[in-house]
């Protein structure tokens, strides 16, 4: 779990250092530690026409369990969307790879 926290702090720093003064659009990422085995993430991006908001609960057990809720709005697609997914990963390296894909 400590690898994940280090990764998240680095990503938050990258995102926050890319902010421009007065800019109200762009990516965001935050997390809360729920207990010794669980972390809660919120991430996504927003613009004047679109947004993507993800709420993720990560549980460290025999496998890494990810419960993700995603909702948003896209002017070029179907408008509003919402989905929920449940993912099992083997280790923290797989989790960080998954997050890299999500946060790109």
Q: Give me the sheet containing 64-74, strands edge to edge.
A: 26-35, 38-46, 51-60, 64-74, 79-89
Q: What is the mean pLDDT of residues 76-100?
A: 92
- 2-17 vs 92-103: helix axis angle to the nearest 10? 20
Per-residue confidence band for 96, with pLDDT thresholds at 50, 70 and 90: very high
Integer angstrom CA distances of residue 72 from 8, 44, 63, 67:
22, 9, 29, 17
Quick: pLDDT tens for 28-74: 999 999 999 999 999 999 888 889 999 999 999 999 999 999 999 98
Phi (first) and psi of residue 37, to 5 degrees: -120, 5
Number of folded domains that form the chain: 1
Domain that holds residue 47: 2-103
Quick: pLDDT tens for 19-37: 877 777 899 999 999 999 9
């Amino acid at each position: 779990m400590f690898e994940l926290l280090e990764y998240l702090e680095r990503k938050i720093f990258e995102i926050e250092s890319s902010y421009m003064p007065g800019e109200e659009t762009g990516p965001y990422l935050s997390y809360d530690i729920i207990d010794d085995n669980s972390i809660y993430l919120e991430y996504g991006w927003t613009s004047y026409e679109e947004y993507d908001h993800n709420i993720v609960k990560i549980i460290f057990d025999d496998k890494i369990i990810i419960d993700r809720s995603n909702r948003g709005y896209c002017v070029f697609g179907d408008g509003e969307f919402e989905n929920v997914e449940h993912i099992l990963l083997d280790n923290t390296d797989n989790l960080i790879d998954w997050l890299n894909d999500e946060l790109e």
